[in-house]
Amino acid sequence: MIESLLDKLHEALGSDDSEELVRVVLEAAAELFSSEVSSFGRLDRERGEIVFSHRAADWQTHEDRVDASMGIPGWVLDRLEAAISNDVLNDPRHVPRRSPLGRPPRSLVCVPVIDAGRVVGVLQLQDARRRGGFTPEDLESIAALGRLLGRLWSARRPRAASEPDPRPVAVSLRGAAPRLLEAHRVAEAAAPTLAPILILGERGVGKETLARRFHELSERRSGPFVRLACRSGEIDALAAELFGISGRLGEATAGALESARGGTLFLDDVDALPRPLQGPLAQALAERHLVRIGGAQSVPLDLRCIAASTEDLREKARSGEFREGLRSRLQVITIELPSLRSRRSDIAELARALVEDTAKEQGRPVPLLEASVLRALEAAPWPGNVRELRATVALAMSRSEGRRLAIPDLPAHLRGLSDPAVQVPLEGRSLSEAVEDFKSACIRRALVLSDGNQTRAADLLGLKQPNLSRLMRALGIRGSS
């Protein structure tokens, strides 16, 4: 039987079709371990479900979905341990559900399928035909088969002939929000040019990440990417960092403008650049040469300039806070990155990607995000945007003890942002107590969404501010909640 399994696997490996590989494994496993049903359950992280493909005695495929946290498969995914049960109905881990057998199984083996630390799903066999059910030796062999399937699954995932193979996009820039897609479109069109670019957006939206992507897509990608933080340091130190210094004995220290030769200079927070430095910078960019501080020799420049700002430079130029000559040299192409709260539909995808990246860095399996966690993340205001989401995910990962991220793993101020109706415990509580809990949850959520501003929170709740204040006092809610 082992030789037959290997022959079938060898045949399947000649195809790029992962479904064919699964079919071969399930048929061979059922034959090898004398089971009535063999199943592969693929983990659907987006919906928090296991999508089962079953192979029964007639070898017709039956597919169904189950909650990824329920039953013996949920136990296996939570602990990433193999499970065996020869008395399923009395097993406390078992949750009754529809079975391709047409009746509850008597015996069952379920093992995790993992590829390079990433959970792919489970391999499950039901009802051994021989007396006594499955043995510990069966469990060990099926677990080995699950490990083999995990190694082969991702490598065999089919790609359509027309499917593009794009350059990888950083997590903070992933999503399908129209404004973000427009930013990508402009970036790909402008990257090959030398035109200066101004990236607008709140802190934490990924302005530096986009600037680096511009650099990587340009013909200057083999040159340096030099970042200068215009908001930091005293003006003299910042001038030296920007223009460089010539010493008395002829020694020189190159500044950011000179260091970016053949590459890209990224001026972060350019709206905070001190006004006395704006004129010399505009002149250096216009003439494409500079004179170091304390020197007399002209140094040629060869760079592409990308700047980032949290404020509209046109408005600052009109008010006299920013030199129009510098603005016009920086703002040839303008891209505005949207805030995270304006693209909430992307938050689930971003959170999953950040969880995967963090798990890879920590060398641990990728945990499953519970649906309640995703609801809470999607409801949060995110004043720090993707940077804050990244920090939140890292904190939740450090708190998580199991194979999934749950509401208790989140920071305290986010835990009440999942659906409050689901959060209200009814056991042992009167209706009036449950109603008060619901009111408290709604008010706390509104306060978080309005950054603690009671007037805005009252608007969200359809109340007048004085009425909200009285209700908060009655419920014992402080204004900073």
Whole-number pLDDT of residue 423: 44
Better pLDDT: 86 or 131: 86
Tell me the Ramachandran region of residue 337: left when phi exceeds 0, alpha when psi lies from -120 to 50, beta otherwise: beta
pLDDT-derived band at 11 (thresholds 50, 70, 90) equals: low
Whether residue 329 is predicted with pLDDT greater than 90 in this model: the reply is yes
Cα–Cα distance measured from residue 405 to residue 399, given in angstroms and rounded to the nearest whole number: 9
Cα–Cα distance measured from residue 139 to residue 108, given in angstroms and rounded to the nearest whole number: 10
Average pLDDT, the chain: 81
Better pLDDT: 202 or 154: 202
The DSSP element (H or E) to which 298 belongs, if any, is: strand 298-300
Cα–Cα distance measured from residue 226 to residue 223, given in angstroms and rounded to the nearest whole number: 10
Structure tokens at 395: 């904190």
Q: What is the pLDDT of residues 22-60, one digit of tens each?
A: 777 787 778 788 888 888 888 887 677 888 887 765 545
Structure tokens at 50: 């296991």
What mean pLDDT do residues 462-479 have? 83
Whole-number pLDDT of residue 345: 83
293 touches 240 (CB < 8 A): yes
Domains for the chain: give ranges and CATH numbers.
Answer: 2-156 (3.30.450.40), 171-336 (3.40.50.300), 342-475 (1.10.8.60)
Burial class (CB in 10 A: 0-12, 13-18, 19+), 480: exposed
What mean pLDDT do residues 100-107 have? 82
Whole-number pLDDT of residue 427: 44
Q: What is the pLDDT of residues 194-232, one digit of tens each?
A: 789 999 999 999 999 999 988 988 888 889 999 999 987
Whole-number pLDDT of residue 61: 53
Only one residue has tokens 């689901």, namely: 422
Whole-number pLDDT of residue 19: 67
C-alpha R_g of the chain? 30
In 3D, which of 115, 1, 97, 95 has the Cα closest to residue 54? 97
Sign (positive or negative) of CA dihedral 266, 271, 277, 279? positive
